[in-house]
Each structure stands twice: as C-alpha cells, then as structure tokens.
Amino acid sequence: MQNELRQDTAAGRSSMSPDRLIYMANQIGKFFQSQGHDKAVPGIAEHIHKFWDPRMRSAIFAHLDAGGAGLEPDVRDAIASLKKAANA
C-alpha cells in the first residue's frame, strides 16, 4: 500500500494518486468487460458513482480532462458520462 495515498498537508487530507485511481477504474472496467460496451459503460459509471468518494471522482475527471492516459476505452467512456451527468 505504499505510495497509494498522498498527504495533502495544506488541506490536511489524503487523496489517491492518479496512477492508483487509473488502476482502480480499469479493474472495475475488467469486471464489466464481458458484458459488452453497451452494458459495461453504464455499469462502470454506476459503480464509480456509488462507491467512489467525490474527491476521487473529481480527480479522475481532472485526469480525463488532461487526456485520460492509461484509461481503457470503456472506462474512459464511463467517466466521461459520469462527468457529463455531474455537470448537467
């Protein structure tokens, strides 16, 4: 569990590293992969919405805005749909 959490000393809270969030999101994507794109994308989005802290979602949205390197295609689509819904 080394380097999974970073301490934000200015804010006094810890946050997940982008690499760890990418890994976690892609693991969720692998779980849903067998269902095909049309079912996987909403399944991934629902899981992230239900179980990720808002700070984690904000961080993965920022990563997507920066190009989304390392995210699998279904995961990228799921995160984009979550972001769109959050901004609606």
pLDDT for residue 2 is more than 70:
no
Q: Residue 15: its pLDDT value, please?
A: 61
- Cβ proximity of 25 and 48 under 8 Å: yes
For residues 17 and 3, what is the distance between their CA atoms, to the nearest angstrom? 8
| pTM recorded for the entire structure | 0.82
The string of pLDDT tens digits covering residues 7-57 is 443 443 446 899 999 999 999 999 999 999 999 999 999 999 999 999 999
State pLDDT tens for residues 57-78.
999 999 999 999 999 999 999 9
Please provide the size of the chain in residues. Answer: 88
